[in-house]
């Protein structure tokens, strides 16, 4: 039963993973690690299935929960009900959830993040929940005494996190994991303004349909999308999609980049909907700066 749940959980989360690590998928299923960590490593996109007749049995509910990708950003399967869709999503009602409104900062000495991103040809995937770029070659950051490997980066429009109550039209999430399975998210906010050349290269061939993936012709580097000033805010949070796993280190860069209105519109049109989870309660957490 545990193996079945692990496999189905991996299938669900595959839409937020890197195709480059797909060859290791079978090995990850066999690991006794938390399914949400293994799932972020790799698998093929889930192909939506037709909704089947309602069946009240637990096995049928579990099966069709994953094959129909029941969670969404609106309606009955939207963020308010994520925690109730399946027992594996119970963390979505936890006390350390993301995104948040970053405010009430605590002064702290934060060591710089060392970014080690190199240019490379990438693949752009539309998984129905976001558009993301996948790279084959290792890229990583050094932060808080650990090396976190970049798995992929993707976009949310409008932004999920807010800074002092301000929502931005676009936010990029750079998803990292270290050898211990700990997750680290680097977030970059985009304000509407001048066209962003790096973003233009990254989304030059946007796949407009869910499940479609295109290979970008020109080599790109995630580093190009980062502002030159990389000071950041730091808080403990979670994944912003089911299963909403907590214990994620969040690094939100203080400086923003710009993107044109046309670029922001193109990303949202590729998805057909806004893909931001509402901000969650900060509770007892501190936001360091």
Active-site annotation, residues: 129
In 3-state terms, what secondary structure has residue 168? coil
Task: Identify the three-state secondary structure at position 63.
Answer: helix
Cis peptide before 243 (omega within 30 of 0): yes
Contact yes or no for 33/63 (Cβ under 8 A): no
Give the separation between CA 86 and CA 84, rounded to whole angstroms: 6
Whole-number Å distance between alpha carbons of 155 and 244: 17
Distance CA 24, CA 128 (A): 23
For the chain, the first-to-last Cα distance in angstroms comes to 44
Q: Kindly give, in sequence order, each residue whose CB lies less than 8 Å from that of residue 105, ignoring residues fewer than 6 positions away.
A: 233, 287, 288, 289
Q: For residue 150, give the nearest of 235, 40, 32, 225 by alpha carbon.
A: 40
Pairing verdict, β 162-163 and 101-102: parallel
């Amino acid at each position: 039963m545990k193996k079945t749940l692990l496999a189905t959980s991996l299938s669900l989360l595959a839409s937020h993973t890197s195709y480059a690590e797909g060859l290791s998928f079978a090995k990850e299923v066999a690991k006794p690690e938390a399914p949400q960590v293994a799932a972020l490593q790799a698998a093929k996109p889930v192909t939506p299935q037709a909704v089947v007749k309602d069946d009240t049995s637990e096995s049928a509910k579990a099966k069709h929960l994953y094959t129909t990708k029941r969670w969404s950003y609106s309606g009955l399967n939207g963020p308010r009900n994520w925690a109730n869709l399946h027992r594996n999503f119970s963390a979505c009602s936890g006390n350390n959830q993301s995104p948040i409104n970053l405010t009430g900062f605590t002064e702290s000495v934060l060591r710089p993040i060392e970014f080690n991103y190199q240019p490379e040809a990438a693949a752009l995937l539309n998984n129905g929940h976001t558009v993301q770029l996948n790279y084959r070659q290792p890229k990583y950051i050094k932060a808080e005494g650990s090396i976190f490997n970049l798995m992929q980066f993707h976009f949310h429009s409008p932004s999920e996190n807010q800074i002092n109550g301000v929502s931005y039209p676009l936010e990029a999430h750079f998803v990292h994991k270290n050898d211990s399975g700990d997750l680290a998210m680097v977030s970059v906010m985009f304000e509407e303004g001048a066209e962003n050349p790096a973003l233009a290269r990254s989304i030059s061939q946007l796949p407009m349909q869910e499940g479609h993936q295109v290979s970008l012709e020109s080599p790109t580097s995630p580093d190009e999308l980062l502002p030159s000033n990389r000071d950041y805010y730091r808080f403990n949070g979670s994944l912003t999609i089911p299963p909403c796993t907590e214990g994620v280190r969040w690094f939100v860069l203080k400086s923003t980049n710009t993107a044109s209105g046309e670029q922001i519109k193109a990303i949202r049109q590729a998805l057909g909907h806004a893909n931001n989870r509402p901000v969650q309660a900060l509770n007892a957490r501190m936001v360091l700066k």
